[in-house]
Amino acid sequence: MSDAPLVATSLQTTPQRWRRRSAMTAIACIVLAIVGFVNANDAARATQDIRDATGPVLVASQNLRASLAEADAAQASAFLSAQETGAEDRRARRSYEDALRRANEQVEDVSALIGDDDATHAAIKDVSVLITRYSGLVEAARAARPFDDEVAVQFLSEAVNLLDGDLQRAVGVLQAASAERLEQDTSSQSTLPWLGIAAGLVALAITALGAADLTRSTNRVVNAGLTLAALSLAGALGWLVIATTTSSSRVNEAVDGGYRSIVATSQLQEAGFTVKSAQTLELLTGDRDADRRIEEGREQVTAMLREISVLSDTDRESALALETQQRWDRFTTASDGTGDTTSSFNGFVFSVEGVLADNRDQFLAGIGDASRSLNGLGLGMIGLPLLAGLAALAGFQQRINEYR
């Protein structure tokens, strides 16, 4: 008779303990589903921001400076041809108009994608106003040329000084803001989902303790429900870590292999156009300061060609870098009076644009790969933990029913 209460207490407390463990496991799985989904969504949003906004803004802001330099070189060439022959070079004029149109489109692209960044929008407004002033001075020089060469050249010099001074500084502010945003986005995107990892480890630990309790109490090593729960939790945790680290790695590869090359190539393009523009301006004005700009531009081209060669990570990029170097050498030789500067410079520009297109495609493709690495992660982080919770409930309930 004295043993009956002990037996009753044992029958009562063991199922209750298992029910508590079952509830704790289910709650841990639900917490992991919530935290994991938030982590996955944050990583996907950060990567999407880089793919859809930050990346295109960076490309547009880098190309903007080169477009302005191209416009400057083309308008100076058109002005010189009109002064020498009395007829404006239509091809140069068309190149100027196309480059200026691209510059305005790039400003619009940045403005549309940059978001609610007041400082950047202020820089965009400054760039837009200065581009308008620059084009106005160019048109004033063009209109004055048939009547007064001296006044026309003065307008042209003011346009060049505006572009080299206030306009390029405003573009520099815009580029710096874009680069800072990339750094912030990549920093956010590369942060490991520590809360999700912690929640996953806690859920696994609770599940393991529950399985150990069942094994100790029933002498049965395997419980199908808890085994499935553990595997589902391990799968969710592994997927979360692997997907986010893979995405982060691909973003970093895109930045290192693509964006840095875009910056170097855009600077190369800008320096080349600066040299061409300065050479034309020297012919028009005899300004000695043009010699300084030519020399500085040539040094910049040499430095950027060297950097692009170092950054080239495919045979195609290396071949394009070598071709660009050779075409620049031809232009330099022609500039010294032994060849056609126009055709050799056009060849250089064509090669640079090929390198730039490759770099741009590489950067955007890398960001796209990073985004695809996270496909399905959000749903997986909901589905697998919930499956684990249901499996754990079923596994505990099976032993509770058998215990009775």
Q: What percent of the chain lies above the pLDDT cut of 90? A: 28
User: What is the sign of the dihedral through the CA atoms of 267, 188, 197 and 365?
Assistant: negative
Which residue type occupies 102? R
**Residue where the block lists tokens 């407004």:** 125
- For 96-122, what is the mean pLDDT? 84
Rounding to the nearest 10 degrees, give the CA dihedral for residues 86, 89, 92, 94. Answer: 110
Dihedral sign, Cα of residue 27, residue 30, residue 36, residue 41: negative
Distances (CA, A) of 59 to 188, 208, 277: 20, 50, 24
pLDDT bucket at 29, cuts 50 / 70 / 90: very high
- For residue 329, the number of C-alpha atoms closer than 13 Å in the C-beta half-sphere is 7
Q: What mean pLDDT comes out for the span 371-386?
A: 94
Q: What is the pLDDT of residue 288?
A: 65
Alpha carbons 398 and 223: distance in angstroms, whole number: 9
Paired tokens of 377? 């992660």
Tens of pLDDT along 156-207? 888 888 887 888 888 888 878 777 877 777 777 677 789 999 999 999 999 9
DSSP codes of every residue in 232-264: HHHHHHHHHHHHHHHHHHHHHHHIIIIIHHHHH
Considering 113-127, 152-166, 200-214, 390-404, the range whose residues carry the highest mean pLDDT is 200-214
pLDDT at site 337: 63
H or E, element range at 102: helix 90-113
* Predicted local distance difference test score (pLDDT) of residue 32: 95
- Quote the percentage of the chain above a pLDDT of 70: 94
Tell me the two tokens of residue 360: 């741009």
What DSSP character marks residue 3? T
For residue 360, count other CB atoms closer than 10 A to its CB: 22
The residue-averaged pLDDT of 374-380 equals: 93
Instruction: Please choose, from the candidates 82, 130, 69, the residue with its C-alpha nearest in 3D space to the C-alpha of residue 352.
Output: 69
Run of H or E residues at 65: helix 55-85
Q: What is the pLDDT of residues 274-308, one digit of tens each?
A: 887 777 777 777 666 777 888 888 888 899 888 88
Q: Which of 277, 271, 64 is nearest to 156 (CA)?
A: 277
pLDDT of residue 10 exceeding 60: no
Token look-up 């996955």 returns 40
CA-derived radius of gyration, the chain: 33
Q: Which of 33-37, 116-120, 129-133 is predicted least confidently?
A: 116-120
**58 pLDDT exceeds 90?**
no
| pLDDT reported for residue 286 | 67
The residues, ordered by sequence, that sit 6+ positions from 127 with a Cβ below 8 Å of its Cβ are 64, 107, 167, 170, 171, 174
1 to 4, 7, 8, 14: CA distances (angstroms): 6, 11, 12, 21
Q: Is 351 a residue whose pLDDT tops 60?
A: yes
Decide which of 309 and 204 is more confident. 204
Report the pLDDT value the prediction gives residue 11, as an integer from 0 to 100: 46
Tokens standing for residue 368: 């796209």
Give the pLDDT band of residue 237 (cuts 50, 70, 90): very high
Q: What is the pLDDT of residue 1?
A: 44
Give Cβ neighbours of residue 100 (< 8 Å, ≥ 6 apart).
67, 71, 131, 135
Residue among 102, 101, 108 nearest 124 (CA): 108
H or E stretch at 178 = helix 168-189
Residue 103 CB neighbours (<10 A): 27
